[in-house]
Amino acid sequence: MKQSRSEFWSGEEYDAQYGNYCSDEISFFQDLMLHRNVLSLLDVCCGTGLVTIPLSKKLSHAVGIDFSRSMVDFAKSKSSNISNVTFYEKDAVSFDLKSVFDLIIMTGNAFQAFLADTDLSSMLENVKKHMHGNSFFVFDCRLPCPKYFETTHNYEYWSSYTSYSGENVDVYGLDSRHPTLSNTMLHRVRREYENGMQYQSYIELKYRSINEIGDRLEQHGLQLVERYADWKKTPLTESSTSFVGVVRPLYRDH
């Protein structure tokens, strides 16, 4: 079972809503790139390239893949005048670019999009296939904690933003447990535009513990070498609700 693409129906609207929230991720990667020999980047589940495009400036080449056409199309249009960045519409569960990258990233908690363990395994297998002995894989992920499993009975106000076309949009959400999948939430989202238009979507998010993630990584020849509570490198504690993992291949080429 795949995560619904309905929440990613418009790259333009995605950037209008979330476009200003990637600065910590970008700083984290710029710091890593400064201290390590990173020339090539693969952004898996890249969305509209919010992270890929700014990072590409310091790289020889960057590639982004995402399975939502609207996101990839907007990423392509935003980067049409940048020669060293390429975006492809591809599923992370089944892609093969036939090359390796110094740094592979997955941001925006896209790690939680892999609802089925078999899909998570295939995605990790593909990530490993695109790494060489000294590559990094870095991702973020919310952790299973009570606040993320809270449910609501009615749509509740979440937030507002200014749409791509300049209108106010109020966002409402209804949170429930997924009816069949364990440790998975189902969020129904309703966007109400100033002109009366509404857009309804939904998204499923899978929660896995750090231990489970560590085990899965090891099954695919990968190991967690650094872990933080967020992109600012806040130390991870028992009460952390999110996690940023830095991953290396288990056996390095020397």
Question: Number of C-alpha atoms within 13 angstroms, CB side, residue 205?
Answer: 18
Q: Which residue lies nearer to ligand SAM by CB, 71 or 189?
A: 71
Shortest Å distance, C-beta 229 to ligand SAM = 18
Q: Which stretch binds ligand SAM (CB under 6 A): 40-48, 54-62, 150-158, 242-250?
A: 40-48
Q: Which stretch binds ligand SAM (CB under 6 A): 60-68, 163-171, 221-229, 236-244?
A: 60-68
Q: Which stretch binds ligand SAM (CB under 6 A): 32-40, 104-112, 127-135, 226-234?
A: 104-112
Q: Which two tokens stand for residue 172?
A: 């409402």
Whole-angstrom distance, CA of residue 162 vs CA of residue 17: 7
Quote the strand ranges of 72-155, DSSP E. 85-89, 101-106, 131-142
- Alpha helices (runs of H) in 174-226, residue ranges in sequence order: 210-219
**Neighbour count for residue 243 (Cβ, 10 Å):** 22
CB 13 within 8 A of CB 71: no
Shortest Å distance, C-beta 152 to ligand SAM = 21
Among 50, 59, 127, 189, binds ligand SAM (CB under 6 A): 50
Whole-angstrom distance, CA of residue 60 vs CA of residue 42: 12
Among 46, 115, 131, 217, binds ligand SAM (CB under 6 A): 46
Among 13, 16, 53, 67, binds ligand SAM (CB under 6 A): 67
Whole-angstrom distance, CA of residue 185 vs CA of residue 180: 10
Strands 184-193 and 168-177: antiparallel
- Nearest CA to 11 among 77, 65, 104? 77
Q: Which residue lies nearer to ligand SAM by CB, 134 or 207?
A: 207
Interaction between residue 8 and ligand SAM (CB under 6 A) = yes
The contact pattern for ligand SAM, residues 105-144, with x = CB under 6 A and - = no contact, is --xx-x--x-------------------------------
Q: Which stretch binds ligand SAM (CB under 6 A): 87-95, 124-132, 189-197, 242-250?
A: 87-95
Shortest Å distance, C-beta 6 to ligand SAM = 10
Q: Which stretch binds ligand SAM (CB under 6 A): 91-99, 131-139, 147-155, 245-253?
A: 91-99
Whole-angstrom distance, CA of residue 32 vs CA of residue 90: 26
- Nearest CA to 111 among 236, 224, 250, 3? 3
CB 226 within 8 A of CB 22: no
Which residues of this chain interact with ligand SAM, rule CB under 6 A?
3, 5, 8, 45-47, 50-51, 66-68, 71, 91-93, 107-108, 110, 113
